[in-house]
Structure 1
Amino acid sequence: MRKTARYASLAVSGLLALSSLTACANDAASSSSGAGSKGDGKGTKVKIMVGGLDKVIYMPAILTQRLGYFDSEGLDVELLSEPAGVQAETALVSGQVQGAVGFYDHTLDLQTKGKSVESVVQFSHAPGEVEVVSTQKAGDITSPKDFKGRKLGITGLGSSTDFLTKYLAVKNGVKVSEFTPVAVGAGPTFISAMQKGAIDAGMTTDPTVATLLDKKAGKLLLDMRTPEGSQQALGGPYPSSSLYMQTDWVNGHKDTVQKLVNAFVKTLKWMSTHSPSEIAAKMPADYSQGDKTLYAQAIKSTLPMFTKDGVMPANGPETVEKVLKAFNPNIKNAKVDLSKTYTTEFVDAAK
């Protein structure tokens, strides 16, 4: 346990240090204009923190920028990146940024903590997450029932991968106290942790999944990249990646929020009419890590999770609440007003 805890602490510290440097570099390069104000002539300035810019589940963020849709709406959007969605959430509630691209489930969790945050455009109707078991442990871990006594990789404590891992365990008869969550981020740090035996299994997304399978370092245990996979694992549609913002800021900057939603809805429609290879070609070159074919395959595997119009899926919020109530005592014992966790006002206007 001590070694695991130490590893998790070191992994998180390293990732936070790296992401902080990245954020500082981005801040230094940007103008010092206030959020929601006119900056250097590029348009209305907005900062958005993404829980991993290179993750395919959050692809609409960088893709909207690459397609020029922010610019066409008169916005100067600065995209910042943190390795886990929970850190994007922290940046939002502390006022460092005006929006966060992360999982919708954070809006419910924050409401129980007295924070009013809402999703303004829903990118997905499935988690896009995959539970991968290391090749060495594949014979011993064949379902979440086998999580007991295992070290399970997540992006960060309090992240959506943490939430979903706990739910899958509890649903399959394993108590939260009977396994060890290990914060290992995503990408190279997740892959290294699995190869070195620091984790037995873990929850991650593409392109990490595609790389793990290509290296034969891991095998699929549960695939929640499609609505069907979400239904099977979680019992319904699971709205995950979204743009969420503090409600007070939304109400005070409706014109800016509408422009953001317009841009994202355009991107979701564009994604639904273009091939994985065409989408991959629009992304930053380094996202493919030297293997364009594998990267296009990662996009293809994850595309089914995305909505085509940014609309919250029917019964999606209820599924999320059910999942969180299964293990989260704050939500289990609280009355959550789901109507305040998302709004369709801006998506309806965009359509």
Structure 2
Amino acid sequence: MTYPLKALAAAMLLATSLHASAAEKITIMVGGIEKQIYLPAKLAEQLGYLKETGLDIELLSEPAGVNAETEMLSGAAQGVIGFYDHTIDLQARGKMVQSVVQFSDAPGEVILVSKAAAGSIKSAADFKGKTMGVTGLGSSTNFLTQFLAAKAGVKNSEFTTLPVGAGSTFIAAMSQGKIDAGMTTEPTISRLVTTGAATILVDLRTLKPTEAALGGPYPAACLYMPNAWVATHKDQVQKIVTAFVKTLKYINTHSAKEIAEKMPADYFASNKQLYIDALDASKAMFTADGVMPEQGPATVLKVLNGFDKAVQGKTLNLAATYTTEFVKAAR
């Protein structure tokens, strides 16, 4: 009887070990989970697709993508739902991360000008001497604002960037005159425009105007993870990516109203119809299948080369900043 008991004990120990491994928490930081540009994150959870993976996945939110990035680099998270441009900027700084599923091929953002500054800001050339609101210093809104200024001949030292977050904090900063203009996302855009508190100067919500302003598709929202973690956790990454590819298909095949019905009520900022209208106008930014647009990485590198000193002069391996392995398997 001794041997079977030992065998049973060993089997129980193995089962416990396997269960612990399967139940290992995977934390994904989102650079503002209520923003429509990151809609696939919460929607995947609401639809039950993340639960279907069998993994213990926790979504946490930070007000800006750069804050989410910091959490991942510190080891507090295994991935970030943020902008693809961070993968290039980080590689230039010696950190290897990659997009494993691409949510959008346009930033989904705009430059808004406050009512008070509307007379003095008619183009990016007028950023000189002004205070521009961004979600955070080092964030993608900061990157794009700097590029648009540089393209118009305005040096970064000639205007001020102020981190003001998004949503109510962005609105407060604009209404209190702390910023003259700023880059933000839906539903903040519609909340300010519909009340007449701001007007749109540069629109990057969908592909065509993005190509006109930036010179090509600008792959933006994605799930990026450390290359080393991806290489050693391929099964987990595949399950997560498959869930998000299913979510992107849902977005592509359902109306903005149908999608909104799946979202938490507090995401609507007390105006559900405004949320629906904003999503209807911009949901074309989402990819249908999670695949990186072919010319996207080169466009992003060109944009960052326009102002990012960490990137300028560096020889970078764009192929290491994203992978299509998992989205192709998901399809």
Scaled by the length of structure 2, what TM-score is found? Answer: 0.93
Distance 2:24 2:246 in 1: 19
1:142 to 116, 122, 146: 122
1:331 matches 2:277: no
Distance 1:196 1:42 in 2: 49
Partner in structure 2 of residue 306 of structure 1: 286
Does the CA-based 8 Å contact 1:125-1:316 persist in structure 2? Answer: yes
Which string of whole-angstrom CA distances, capped at 9 and with x for unpartnered residues, describes residues 102-132 of structure 1?
0000001110111110000000000111100
Which string of whole-angstrom CA distances, capped at 9 and with x for unpartnered residues, describes residues 60-88 of structure 1?
00000000001112122100000000011
1:202 matches 2:182: yes
Partner in structure 1 of residue 271 of structure 2: 291
Partner in structure 1 of residue 5 of structure 2: none
Does the CA-based 8 Å contact 1:44-1:74 persist in structure 2? Answer: no
The residue correspondences of 1:181-330 to structure 2 (distance < 5 A) are 181-330=161-310
Moved >6 Å (runs of 4+): 37-42
Percent of paired sites with the same residue: 58
Q: Aligned pair count? A: 315
Tell me how far 1:304 sits from its aligned partner.
1.4
Distance 1:273 1:318 in 2: 29
User: Which segments of 5 or more consecutive residues in structure 1 lack a partner in the other structure?
Assistant: 1-36
Distance 1:315 1:163 in 2: 19
Counterpart amino acid of residue 263 in structure 1: A
Counterpart amino acid of residue 230 in structure 1: T
SS of the residue aligned with 2:166?
A: coil
Partner in structure 2 of residue 116 of structure 1: 96
Does the CA-based 8 Å contact 1:38-1:45 persist in structure 2? Answer: no
Q: CA RMSD in A?
A: 1.4
Partner in structure 2 of residue 20 of structure 1: none
> Looking at CA atoms only, which structure, 1 or 2, has the larger radius of gyration?
2
Q: In 2 relative to 1, CA 96–314 (structure 1 residues): closer, same or farther, beyond 3 Å?
A: same
Counterpart amino acid of residue 143 in structure 1: S
1:159 matches 2:155: no
Q: In 2 relative to 1, CA 318–192 (structure 1 residues): closer, same or farther, beyond 3 Å?
A: same
2:73 to 93, 96, 116: 93
User: Which segments of 5 or more consecutive residues in structure 2 lack a partner in the other structure?
Assistant: 1-16
Distance 2:91 2:327 in 1: 22
Distance 1:289 1:114 in 2: 40
SS of the residue aligned with 1:329?
A: coil
Q: In 2 relative to 1, CA 43–194 (structure 1 residues): closer, same or farther, beyond 3 Å?
A: same
Counterpart amino acid of residue 277 in structure 1: K
Tell me how far 1:39 sits from its aligned partner.
7.1
